[in-house]
Amino acid sequence: MIKAIYGTKDILPEDILKWTHLENLVRNVMGSFNYKEIRTPVFEETRLFARGIGEATDIVSKEMYTFNDRSDNSVTLKPEMTAAVVRSFIEHKMDKKQMLNKMFYISPMFRQERPQAGRLRQFHQFGAEALGSDSPQLDAEMIIMPYDIITSLGLKNIVVKINSLGVPESRENYKNVLKDYLAPHLNDLSEESRKRFETNILRIFDSKAENDQKIMEDAPLLIEHLDNASLEHFEGVKRTLLEAGIPFEIDPKLVRGLDYYTHTTFEIVSGSVGSQSALCGGGRYNLLVEQLGGKPAPGIGFAAGIERILLACENEESLKLPDDSLDLFVVDINRDNAELVSKLSLFFRRKGLTVEHDYAARSVKAQMREANRSNAKFTIMVGGDELERNEIVLKTMETGDQKSFNIDNLQSVFETMRG
Ligand code: HAM
């Protein structure tokens, strides 16, 4: 038997309502902040991500689905959207069209990580990127939007964490301070962290090794070494979040796993999903456009994992889904009126109702069972003496009330159903 690839999942019809409910919410919230949707290809040139996300990151060094196509070009399935959106921004000279470009996306992503609860190899993100402004209000907006979406889903067990990574100059100075602190501990660090000491020292804060964590407890913090302009920007972000009623914690150890960040970084973390707890992450990347060959432009964005959010909703039993039950089931009483039943159904389907009927000439009992199982609000009985009188019977399932209508007067049947 051929099965779905390890770490990928079918989204089955019985689950789709959760997805469309979340996607509609995303479109509404992003729309209200005037973000426009962008869709980029599923694969890009490998060097876009290598340059954009950073060679030393886990994503680029271990997790990308990279292969040579038949023309021997190295291509990669997108592991995230930011680099792709920035590529598109530069390619289409969006900065010439308007000063600030606000875009959102809902898209599959691909990372060859070890699958576990809330971690897949093909997963889905919704997110946003804003290019062309370094206003701290935009930083706050990037936290408010996912916060509003996540709380609208009824999730309660969440924490918003924010930090600032400042600008490269202060960060480089700080890296030396951190190096001086860690040098005497080097032999006690895990192998992974010893590697990161050379390649990506800030990520040692993310180490899960107990001893590494103990050593990092007393490490000097970047936030204590920020330049004044960065601190001022961060204060502006915090004030705007307070005004918006967003509770947050400052987490000076929040460094994030992608290299492009400057200034604000943030995550929304859930206490309901186990170890893969980040529902959403993002931050400012004021140098990325230039790094990818564009005219310098500040940027900021976030991305949230849909599977993880839905897992949290399941664990907190928080979702209230819209009703997708049938409006109407048309019953073929004599089991010989398939064409008429199909024609009547079409009339009401074209009126926008969700309508079903039997396709297998099953017994009336089986048809009624089906109508009940699908929670139909109404049934129409076609057949018997009524049909000989050119009538059909409309039954309201909740009350059991029945009413006959002339078959040529379907409009009044429709109006009765609409109430
Ligand atoms: P990220 O932190 O790599 O950031 O991913 C964002 C979110 O995607 C995570 O918080 C998580 O919910 C979800 N996610 C990541 N990997 C997986 C996986 N293997 N399985 C399931 N869910 C996953 C970014 O991708 C940045 N592009 C965010 C950003 C946008 N920064 C600026 N703009």
| Bridge partners, residue 80, by sequence | none
* Gap from CA of 281 to ligand 1 centroid (Å): 6
Q: Supply angle C-alpha 394, 396, 398, rounded to 5.
A: 165
CATH code, domain with 98: 3.30.930.10
Residue 127 beta carbon below 6 angstroms from any ligand 1 atom: yes
Query: Per residue in 47-85, pLDDT tens?
Result: 999 999 999 899 999 999 999 999 999 999 999 999 999
> Would strands 378-382 and 101-110 be described as parallel, antiparallel, or unpaired?
unpaired
**The two structure tokens encoding residue 346:** 């079409």
Q: Give the side-chain half-sphere CA count within 13 A for 319.
A: 18
What is the maximum alpha-carbon separation in the chain? 96
Q: How far does Cα 347 stand from its chain's mean position?
A: 37
Query: Per residue in 211-230, pLDDT tens?
Result: 999 999 999 999 999 999 99
- Mean pLDDT of all residues in 83-94: 98
Q: How many other C-beta atoms are found inside a 10 Å radius of the C-beta of residue 213?
A: 14
**pLDDT higher than 90, residue 386:** yes
Choose which residue among 38, 64, 109 to substitute to test ligand 1 binding: the one with the highest number of ligand atoms within 8 A of its C-beta: 109
**The two structure tokens encoding residue 375:** 């929670």
Residue 17's pLDDT band, with cuts at 50, 70 and 90, is very high
CATH code, domain with 385: 3.40.50.800
Q: Tell me how far apart the alpha carbons of residues 369 and 358 are, in angstroms, rounded to a whole number.
A: 11
370 and 298 in a common domain: no
Residue 269 beta carbon below 6 angstroms from any ligand 1 atom: no
Identify whether 207 is part of a domain.
Answer: no
Instruction: Report which protein residue has its CA nearest ligand 1's atom 1.
Output: 281
257 and 112 in a common domain: yes
Query: Per residue in 228-275, pLDDT tens?
Result: 999 999 999 999 999 999 999 999 989 888 999 999 999 999 999 999
Number of domains in the chain: 2
* Gap from CA of 107 to ligand 1 centroid (Å): 12
* Gap from CA of 257 to ligand 1 centroid (Å): 9
52 and 22 in a common domain: yes
Please, which residues have CB within 8 angstroms of residue 287's CB and are 6 or more apart in sequence? 168, 260, 262, 296
**The two structure tokens encoding residue 11:** 């989204």
Amino acid letter for position 272: S
Identify whether 274 is part of a domain.
Answer: yes
388 and 300 in a common domain: no
Query: Per residue in 306-327, pLDDT tens?
Result: 999 999 999 999 999 988 899 9
Parent domain of 96: 13-167+227-316
Residue 139 beta carbon below 6 angstroms from any ligand 1 atom: no
Query: What percent of the chain has pLDDT above 90?
Result: 94
Q: What is the pLDDT of residue 200?
A: 87
Put residue 339 in one of left, alpha, beta given phi > 0 → left and psi -120 to 50 → alpha.
alpha
**The two structure tokens encoding residue 390:** 């050119």
Q: Tell me how far apart the alpha carbons of residues 64 and 48 are, in angstroms, rounded to a whole number.
A: 12
Q: What is the pLDDT of residue 324?
A: 86
**The two structure tokens encoding residue 220:** 């000097």
Ligand 1 atom closest to 285 (CA) = 32
156: phi then psi, degrees, rounded to nearest 5: -115, -35
pTM score, whole prediction: 0.93
338 and 298 in a common domain: no
**pLDDT higher than 90, residue 107:** yes
154 and 128 in a common domain: yes
- State the burial class of residue 397 (Cβ atoms within 10 Å of its Cβ: 0-12, 13-18, 19+): middle
Put residue 318 in one of left, alpha, beta given phi > 0 → left and psi -120 to 50 → alpha.
alpha
Amino acid letter for position 191: E
98 and 30 in a common domain: yes
Q: State the virtual CA torsion across 115, 118, 120, 124 in degrees, nearest 10.
A: -170
Question: Which of 267, 291, 316 is the endpoint of a domain?
Answer: 316
In angstroms, what is the C-alpha Rg of the chain?
28
Residue 304's pLDDT band, with cuts at 50, 70 and 90, is very high
Q: What is the pLDDT of residue 322?
A: 84
337 and 272 in a common domain: no
Residue 140 beta carbon below 6 angstroms from any ligand 1 atom: no
Q: Tell me how far apart the alpha carbons of residues 6 and 44 are, in angstroms, rounded to a whole number.
A: 23
Query: What percent of the chain has pLDDT above 70?
Result: 100
Identify whether 362 is part of a domain.
Answer: yes
Closest CA to 417 of 356, 305, 328: 328
Identify whether 254 is part of a domain.
Answer: yes
361 and 246 in a common domain: no
342 and 311 in a common domain: no
Q: At what angle do helices 306-315 and 16-32 cross, to 10 degrees?
A: 110
> Do 54 and 258 form a contact (C-beta atoms < 8 A)?
yes
> Do 357 and 341 form a contact (C-beta atoms < 8 A)?
yes
Q: What is the pLDDT of residue 136?
A: 98
Q: Supply angle C-alpha 123, 125, 128, rounded to 5.
A: 160
- State the burial class of residue 280 (Cβ atoms within 10 Å of its Cβ: 0-12, 13-18, 19+): buried
Q: Tell me how far apart the alpha carbons of residues 157 and 164 are, in angstroms, rounded to a whole number.
A: 24
Instruction: Report which protein residue has its CA nearest ligand 1's atom 22.
Output: 305
414 and 293 in a common domain: no
- Mean pLDDT of all residues in 17-31: 97
* Gap from CA of 22 to ligand 1 centroid (Å): 17
At 262 the three-state DSSP class reads strand
Q: What is the pLDDT of residue 271?
A: 96
* Gap from CA of 360 to ligand 1 centroid (Å): 47
